[in-house]
Structures are given as structure tokens and as C-alpha cells.
Structure 1
Amino acid sequence: MSETSARLLSLLSLLQARRDWPGALLADRLEVSPRTVRRDVDRLRDLGYPVRATKGPDGGYRLDAGADLPPLLFDDDQAIAVAVALQTATTTVTGIEEGALRALATVRQVMPARLRQRVDALQVTTVDRYADRRRTTVDSDQLIAIGMAVRAREVLRFDYASPRASEEEWLPPRKVEPHHLVTWGGRWYLVGWDLDRKDWRTFRVDRMTPKTPTGPRFTPRELPAPDVASYISKQFSRQSQWPCQGEAILQAKASDIAQWAGRDAIVEEVTADSCRLILSGWSWTGLAATFGMFECDLEFVGPQELKDAAAHLAERYTAAAS
């Protein structure tokens, strides 16, 4: 690989790693002059990467979102994570099977041999232990349409297949201020303010048929709970059967955690790479152990009984390991 090409790849990797880069710091990391950085940025722009110059005392650069998807760079761990995620992408969302397979083939084709062997060894078959009871799938276009209305804060109109209504009964479209998408027990739900009933409602996404166009923008209302996860947990009486309930923030995607959290779990997306998880159990120690089964960093939110049980469990495990 030529020196210029290698430097361009290094520059692109740096720009993808953080939002803003001062020009002088980029030059220092690449061990080149600021003038060379400017020329390399122009080369990336010619290749379709939307690199924008930022203002400031030193000036800098930012990699923005563009109209087209340019080639992406992944480190080894990211490439394997993408490949595994694509293999399990159809667990709860339908309509993306062909795209996921084509994406997996594209990622695998450009992988170096050392990574391709690891991915081939990770042929994942998702077996849904709740398939015969609760877990349902939703159409990807439907999920995206609802998610866009949530982000845009636009009134959502949709037909809703209520299980209480007969097939002959005509139901008018629902008009809702969509607040949040959440998964619970293997299903997707929309939490929103029903404009006709003037109250908060929870809708199963697999029963919704969104209509276009969406309605006017709205100012978000305050939930009758500290957060969405707490609100959902109150809506399902099964949670009250367990004497202990705890909450933690997990540094993992909500869609990944939802696959393995179980029927009674509440999973709420916090950021693209973190989620809030609420679990219930018969004992605080057992609950702390259940949180620990997810192989990611986590922070216990509460209550204090859960934190104390986690500390006690850590002492027991440390003693057992030594």
C-alpha cells in the first residue's frame, strides 16, 4: 500500500473515532504537516466523504453524514460484531433478511483471512425459547416509520388491530403523540399520548399500521413515571409478582440485550450503544447475578439492596476464584 493511501486510511479512521479534530492534532497524530492534512482531506472529499472544516482557535475537521454511504472502516472487533449482528438481525424485525445477507457477504468478502476464519467459526443460529408464547416480529419499514415519528415529535396516525374488536367492527384510526419505542418480553411497544382518549397508552407495534403523512409537531409531555422503563413495568402486572426489582445501565445495544433478557425484562434504549434494563427476581443476590450474565460494562442504578447484593456477590466470587 502506498504511503499516501495508508495515510488516508489512518486519517479516515481518526475522523470516524471522534466528532471534532483540531487540524494541528491530526497533523501530530499522522506525523505530517497541517498542509498535508488539508490535501488529504481534499482527497477524502473527492472520494465522497463529507469532511467539513470547523471554526475555532486552531481550526479543525469533522466527518459529517452524507447523501451517499461511502466505504467504512472497522477495526477487528467492530468487523466481527457487525458480522454476528447481521446473522441475528432477523430475530425481531422482518423485511431485512435479504439486505442482511447481502451486507454480511460484503463485509466478509473484504475481511482479511484472520478475521474471516473467526467469523466463519461464529455461525449463529438464533433459537427463540419464547417463540411459541410471546415473541413476535415486526416489519422493518413499519419500525422505521414509527421511530422517525418519535424522533421528529410528529403526531402519528395508524390503524390498530385491537384484540378486543371483532373482524367486522370498524375502528377509526388512532392519533397519538409518540413518545418512545421499547421492547418487553420479546415484543415491540410504542408508548404515546392518545389524543382522542387524552391519556397515556401502550400499543403493540405488530398490531399497528402507520398512515402517511404524519401529523403536526408537538411538544413532548411528561410521562407519569421517572422514565419509560418504569412506566412500562407498571403497565404489566406480572412484574408485581416478583418481590425484587432492580435497574442498571448496560453498555450494549438495546436490540442485543432484548434478545436474551427474558419475558419479564424492560429494555429501553438510552443511546445507540447503551440501554436501561429492569429485571425482577426472587432475591437480590439472584438478581445481581442475572445482571452480571451480560458480557458488557454496566452501572447499577438501584435500589440500594441490589447494589449491596452485587458487592456481596463480588466478594464471594473473588474468594471462590482465589
Structure 2
Amino acid sequence: MSDTTSRALALLNLLQTHRHWPGTELASRLGVTERTVRRDVDRLRELGYRVESTPGAAGGYRLEAGSAVPPLLLTDDEAVTMAIGLRVAATQQLVGGAEVTLTALAKLEQVLPSALRQRVNALAAAVQPPRIGDAPVVSPVVLGEIALATRDHERLRMRYVDGAGAESVRRVEPHALAPSGRKWFLLCWDLDRDDWRTFRVDRIVSVEHTRVLFTRREISTEEIDERVLIAASWSPQKIEADAVMQLPFPEMQDMFGPWSEGATPEGENRTRWPFGGSDWREAMYALLWIPEGVEYTTSFPEPHRAELRESVQRLLRALDAPAPDPRD
């Protein structure tokens, strides 16, 4: 393989791993001049790859979608991961998931070497995908476009429908896509609210790329996991109730952090906090987060209220009774 061909393939590999590359950075990574980069881009265009160039100091190159899918460069690990992902995706709640992913999988496995096909079969046999059941349907197109924008730090404009059916247009900086339970969530910085927001992907109707890049804000993996967990807990629960605490709203926000989402002030010295759970035990666990010494009332509904009262009374009797004899 000639140096020119090898360099063009290396350039193609770089273009496939990022949405936008400055010309100076491509030249630096390939160890050539920017003029050589321009010639190699022209060679890729002759082969059918649509490479868009933008002039200026902030200009560069990006690989655009074409009318047909050109060949992709995949490492062995990338090919195996993609094949396994397609097998799992065939069982997930995606629009057209089973049919589309199985045909794509058949095409990919057809060109895999024998050794890689054996790796795919072995790993796929060991992977047990979760049961989806009645999980909400997610558009793979929307999911894919958000993933690209998240990778490239590109602002999005999206149409979102909330749980009440109200539609809004949001301008966001996507930071992470994460599954929780049977749903997908997008954690992003909401430019209109000037704060972090978490959206259910199945409620995102459409996304529009703005081609405006942003600097990623600092947020830890732990905080991302916590915010997604909070968003997942806001899905409709079997038991839903409020706790009204004798605690000013600003103090409650400081104590609860991200878990204060949804809370509202009730006058100057009280805060209303919604909570819930799949059963009375799970809902009761939320009440245990109320800080020590803070009095509160709750709208815990019947018959779960009676079940909780009976359990608490038994717990108090057990704590007041003498401890059992120690184990021999």
C-alpha cells in the first residue's frame, strides 16, 4: 500500500471519529502540511466520501452523510462491539428494532473474518439483555443524533413533550446519554433555564443540529448517575405523595442538592417536597432523607398509610423491648 493511500485511510479514520476537525490539527496528527491534507481530502471525495470544508481561522473538515453509505474503517474490537450491540439492539424497544438491526447484523457478520465471528458468538451468548416489556419506544434516529452531538460538543435545538403532553422547544448542550431501568435519559445544560436538566429520550420528538460548538462543563460521573437516577424516580409511581417540611426552601435545597428538584416553597419557613415509590416501603425510604429534627406532615395515601403505620408501630415496640439473647 502506497504512502499516499495509507495517509488517505488514516485521514478517513480521523474524520469518522469526530464531527469536525480543524485543518491544522489534521495536518499535525498526520505529520504533513495543510496543503497535503487538502489533496488527500480531494482523493476521498473522488472515492465517494462527502467531505465538507469550511474556510477561516475556525475552519476545518467534516464528513457529511452521502446518498449512499461508503465503506467504513473498523478495528477488530470496533467490529466485534458493533456486532454484539446489533444483536442486543434487536431485542430492545427501538422503532423497527428487530428487523433493521438483524439485517444490518447479517451484512456485518458476512464480512467478518472467522476468528471475529467466533468472538461475537461467544460474547453474545454470555450477554443477557434486559427484558424490555412495556418500555417506551425510542427513535434510533433521535438517539443517534443526540449521541453525535454529545460526542462532538454541539448544541442542539429539540422539540420535547413533557408528561402532561405540553410541547416546548429547548436549546441544550448535551453532556451524557444514559439508560436507567427501561428508559433512556439525556443529561444536558438547558440554555434557557441556565441549569442542568434531564429529559426522557422517548419524549424528544425531533432534534436539530445547530453546528454551534460548546465547551463541556465540569460534571462528575457520580453526579451524572445521581441526576439520571433522580429523573428516573420522577416517572409515574404507584404511590405518590407530598411531604411538607418545617424547613425554608433555600435550606432544603442546600441539604438535598439535586434531590430537591420538584420541591416548592410553602411560605417563608416551609417546603413542599413530592416523593413516591413502587410500594409503601420504597416511598417510606424517601421520608428517611428528611434531616434529623425537621418536623413534617405527609399526604401518604391509604391504604398504604395504614400499612406504614402498622410497620412503624411494630418497629417501635421492637426497639423498646429487651434485646434477644445473643447467639450461642
Fold shared, TM-score > 0.5 on shorter chain: no
Q: Which has the larger radius of gyration?
A: 2
TM-score of the aligned structures, taking structure 2 as reference length:
0.44
TM-score (norm 1): 0.45
